[in-house]
């Protein structure tokens, strides 16, 4: 399976805020209202964004979005797992990683500070 399809299949668009997980449909609706776009246009944009990020990560590129953060892929080392007394070798794999920008971190911290 191509990495784009894996990202699309396993990385559903969701945002977790205050223990609330925004589903893809809710995100699409929110973006369509804020951008004054049709939901189909937002769906197409999010799909294209996922494909571009997936393509670049599969090429071992780093995607930086100013004032948001950066996406990169890291190689997870092989490891041994023990299940029911049997040892299994888990091969190395690439995993997507997101590092938020300092402005996003400070915004999230300010939300956390306001709740306490």
Q: Look up the domain containing 52 and give its range.
A: 3-115
What's 74's domain CATH number? 4.10.520.10
> What pLDDT is recorded for position 113?
74
> What pLDDT is recorded for position 18?
54
Task: Report the number of distinct structural domains present in the chain.
Answer: 1
List per-block mean pLDDT (blocks of 10 residues) for the chain, which spans 116 residues: 44 50 86 94 93 91 93 92 90 92 90 70
Per-residue H/E/C for 77-111: CCEEEEECCEEEEECCEEEEEEEECHHHHHHHHHH
> What pLDDT is recorded for position 6?
44
> What pLDDT is recorded for position 45?
94
Q: Is the pTM of this model over 0.75?
A: no
């Amino acid at each position: 399976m191509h990495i784009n399809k894996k990202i699309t299949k396993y990385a559903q668009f969701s945002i977790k805020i205050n223990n609330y997980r925004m589903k893809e449909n809710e995100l699409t609706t929110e973006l369509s209202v804020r951008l004054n776009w049709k939901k189909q246009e937002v769906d197409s944009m999010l799909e294209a964004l996922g494909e571009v990020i997936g393509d670049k990560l599969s090429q071992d590129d780093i995607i930086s979005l100013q004032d948001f953060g950066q996406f990169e892929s890291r190689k997870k080392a092989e490891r041994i797992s023990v299940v029911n007394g049997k040892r299994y070798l888990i091969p190395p794999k690439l995993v997507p990683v997101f590092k938020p920008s300092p402005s996003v971190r400070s915004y999230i911290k300010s939300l956390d500070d306001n709740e306490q």
